Amino acid sequence: RMAEALPSGAGEAVGAPLAGRRVLVVDDSRTACAILRAMLERAGAEVETLTDGAAAVALFRRGPDAFDALLMDLVMEGVDGFSAIPQIVALRHGARPPIVAMSATVDAEVTARCVALGAHGRLLRKPYRATDVLSCLGEALAGTESGAADASTAAAPPALAAGDRKSTRLNSSHV
């Protein structure tokens, strides 16, 4: 049933845009982790999932450069994304790793707070859509590779375009 939740061609239309990339997904929802894993693997990424921020910090402590990107839920029990993101940035010696924050609530205040902590300037809104996940992660990776980590030029969360309303939404009801 997971395959039914993914739009056909998600990640395949342009080949495997994340081929060779290692992505860590941190979300306290195992369902969200499974959905994101399926999307990212379909796009060619190698994916590891964790269900809490403390485990993510510990993993980065052991190998700060083990992942090319991190998708981090903001609201979790224990160590949440707001707490884990700056710790991971510190472990990367102040470098801004491509961290994409995820939340059901995405507004200018949350976005600014995440950017100040070291996350990419565009947050992913739940429920996830494959096109949003891939484009946001692609932007974060491209910004890191080009050295463009300036928060003042970070993209704001896009408004929902009329055509986007028809896109397949991915949430736990599709699993």
Copy the structure tokens of residue 70.
Answer: 């991190």
Question: What is the model's pLDDT at position 144?
Answer: 63
Copy the structure tokens of residue 170.
Answer: 């991915």
CB 91 within 8 A of CB 60: yes
What is the pLDDT averaged over residues 114-137? 93
pLDDT at 51 over 60: yes
What is the pLDDT averaged over residues 26-34? 97
pLDDT at 109 over 50: yes
pLDDT digits (tens, 9 = 90+) for 66-101: 899 999 999 999 999 999 999 999 998 867 679 999
Question: What is the model's pLDDT at position 143?
Answer: 82
Higher pLDDT, 93 or 162: 93
The percentage of the chain sitting over the pLDDT mark of 70, rounded to a whole number, equals: 72
pLDDT digits (tens, 9 = 90+) for 126-154: 998 999 999 999 999 998 654 433 333 33
For residue 143, the surrounding DSSP H or E stretch is helix 130-145
Question: What is the model's pLDDT at position 112?
Answer: 96
CA distances from 84 to 5, 80, 104, 134, 139 (A): 30, 6, 18, 23, 21
pLDDT at 175 over 70: no
Higher pLDDT, 12 or 57: 57
Copy the structure tokens of residue 150.
Answer: 């300036």
pLDDT at 39 over 80: yes
Question: What is the model's pLDDT at position 169?
Answer: 34
Indicate the burial class of 29 (C-beta count within 10 angstroms; 0-12, 13-18, 19 or more).
Answer: middle
